Amino acid sequence: MEGDEAMTALPDEGWLDAHPPPRRARLFSVPHAEDDYTVEDWLKLPETGERIELIDGSFLVSPMPRYGHALCAGRLRQILIEAAPPEYEVVETGNLIVGEDGFAPDVVVGLTEAIVADPVALSADDVVCVVEIVSPGKGNHRRDYEIKPLKYAAGGIPHFIRVELHGDGAPRAEVFSLGAHGYELTAEAKAGDKLAAHVPFPIAFDPAALTGARR
């Protein structure tokens, strides 16, 4: 009608900037395998922005962790790297080959010589400690409490650290060292206490420092 503003199906200028369309999932082609997938198959996968691990011949795809998880990994890496002698280097979320499996631990402590060589993946022989930060969910809990520790131990990785961000006393940290029958708990602490361990170099920190605002 005369005097009325013209009606249009087009959005106002700037509307798309304020309301961007959802991002499309990035798809990739999984190589065909007659039997189980192999480490070679795993290493050929393209970068997708997700964490893809190879466990018992199958690919496990996980979303990128929440920011609290990432914050914890970054702070623990800083604690470890400040304590590490020059022969060790500390990195976050690197590819790690353990036997016939391919993992992406949250933090890896490895031999400096192996890491600075810039490989696509480290082997278990080049690693002295791995860290897993437990994400919510039964599947994540089972992997970090049952599956991965057994495989890391079987691969001969000397030390394993697990950090729990939820539940009583969180954040809680546990340190395990390889013994005659697998990993043995050598140190643990909840928020407000001090954890002291050798991994294989001495570290000491309050797990509370891994989360929340910087103190």
pLDDT of residue 30: 56
> Which CATH number does the domain 65-210 belong to among 3.90.1570.10, 3.30.70.20, 3.10.129.10, 2.60.120.380?
3.90.1570.10
* Phi and psi torsions of 101, nearest 5°: -110, 155
Q: Of the candidates 104, 98, 108, 196, which has an alpha carbon nearest to the alpha carbon of residue 160?
A: 108
Gap between the Cα atoms of 137 and 141, Å rounded:
6
pLDDT confidence of residue 31: 56
Can you give the pLDDT at residue 74?
Answer: 98
pLDDT, one tens digit per residue, over 140-162 is 899 999 999 999 999 999 999 99
CA distance 64 to 67: 9
Where do the structural domains in the chain lie, given as residue ranges? 65-210
> pTM here?
0.83
pLDDT at 18: 56
* Residue closest to 149 by CA, chosen among 169, 167, 137, 134: 134
**What's the pLDDT at 1?**
47
Instruction: Please enumerate in sequence order all residues whose Cβ is within 8 A of that of 49, keeping only pairs 6 or more positions apart, or say none.
Output: 26, 64
Predicted pLDDT of residue 49: 77
Output the tens digit of pLDDT for each of the chain's 215 residues. Answer: 455 444 444 455 555 455 554 444 444 555 555 689 999 999 999 887 788 999 999 999 888 889 999 999 999 999 999 999 999 999 999 999 999 999 999 999 999 999 999 999 999 999 999 999 998 888 889 999 999 999 999 999 999 999 999 999 999 999 999 999 999 999 999 999 999 999 999 999 999 999 999 87
Percent of the chain with pLDDT over 90: 74
